[in-house]
Amino acid sequence: MTSNPFEDSADYVQSLARGLQVLRAFDRELSSPSLSQVAERTGLSRAVVRRSLLTLQHLGYVGSRGRSFFLTPRVLELGYSYLSSLDLTELAQQCLEQLSQKVGESCSMAVLDGSDIVYVLRVPVRRVMSVALGVGARLPAFAASMGRVILADLPEAELASWLKAQKFRAYTPQTICTAAALKAELVRVRKQGYALTSRELEPGLCSIAVPIRTAEGQVVAALNIGMPYSEDAPERAVKQMLPALQEARVAVEQAIRRGGWLPHMAMRSAYG
C-alpha cells in the first residue's frame, strides 16, 4: 500500500490517528467488541489497541464490561460539535418539516463523507428501512439517492478516484453495483437534476433526491423523500414528490445563503 506523504511527516500524530481508528471500529455489527476483535478490524496490534482503548476509557468515550468495550454517550459530543457549527440543520429544519407534512412521507438531508452519506437531518413519518435512520446514520453513497446527486457534481478526476476506492456490493438484485454502471447513472442524474432509486438498498424502499447548492453552485448536501415501494412508487415520486422536493430545495438554499453557511463546513470528502 502506498504511504500518504503527510503520514511520513513530523506533523502527523500517529497515536491520534490510531485512537480515531479504534473509535471507528465500533458500529451496529460490532457494538461491544473485545480487544482482539478491535485489533482484527483495525489491523493494529493488540498492544496499540489496548493503549488506545484504555486512554479512551480514561477520557470517558469508551466503557468496559468484562472483556468487552462499548462507546459511551460522550462520543455524541464529537458529532454534535460538527452539527452545531454547521447551522445547516437549523436553517433547513422548518423546510423539511413543511415538506414532510405536505407529501406525507419521511424527508432527510445528508452530506457526503468518504464512501458514505451521513444523515444530518431527518423528519420521519414511518419506518421504511429495516435499520433505524436518524442523525448520524450512514448509508453507502453509491446505492443511495442522496449519495448519487452529490456524486454527480464531483469533477471527473475526483469521481474517478472515488469510484476506484469503492467496494461495491449488491444489496438487492436491483442494486447498481459496478463502477461503469454507476458512472452512467450519474451522468443521467446530472442531466435530469435528481436521483431516483428503487429497491436498491432494500426491496421495500423507493427514494428520490435533489442536490442542495451554495450561491456559487457547489453541491454541498442532498435532500430526499423516502417512501415504501409499490409498482407506482417510482412514477409517483417523479410526478408528485419531485415538484414539492424542488420547492423545498429552493427554500433550503435560500435559507443557507441568508444564513451565510460556508461550503467548507460540509463533510464532502475529496479523493485523489
Q: What domains does the chain contain, in order, with CATH numbers?
A: 5-71 (1.10.10.10), 78-265 (3.30.450.40)
Share of the chain above pLDDT 90, in %: 49
Label residue 211 by pLDDT band (50, 70, 90).
very high
- pLDDT surpasses 50 at 219: yes
47 or 137: which leads in pLDDT: 47
Label residue 223 by pLDDT band (50, 70, 90).
very high
pLDDT reported for residue 271:
36
pLDDT reported for residue 180:
95
pLDDT reported for residue 152:
96
Q: In terms of Cα–Cα distance, which of 75, 76, 101 is closest to 22?
A: 75
Label residue 127 by pLDDT band (50, 70, 90).
low
- pLDDT surpasses 70 at 248: yes
Beta strands in the chain (DSSP E): 62-65, 68-71, 106-113, 116-123, 138-140, 195-198, 205-213, 219-228
Section 238-255 average pLDDT: 91
pLDDT reported for residue 175:
94
pLDDT reported for residue 272:
34
Q: What angle do CA 212, 112, 174 make, to 5 degrees?
A: 95
Element (H, E) at 259: helix 242-259
pLDDT reported for residue 220:
86
- pLDDT surpasses 70 at 246: yes
Residue 124, CB half-sphere, CA atoms under 13 Å: how many? 10
What does the alpha-carbon distance between residue 76 and residue 71 come to, in Å, rounded to a whole number? 10
Section 97-101 average pLDDT: 89
Section 146-172 average pLDDT: 93
Label residue 89 by pLDDT band (50, 70, 90).
low
- Mean pLDDT over each residue of the chain, to the nearest integer: 85
Element (H, E) at 92: helix 88-103
pLDDT reported for residue 84:
57
Do 147 and 222 meet the contact criterion of CB atoms below 8 Å apart?
Answer: yes
Q: What is the pTM of this model?
A: 0.68
Label residue 266 by pLDDT band (50, 70, 90).
very low
Looking at 142-146, 174-178, 267-271, which range is the least confident one?
267-271
pLDDT reported for residue 118:
87
- pLDDT surpasses 90 at 6: no
- pLDDT tens, 55-81? 999 998 999 989 999 988 788 777 766
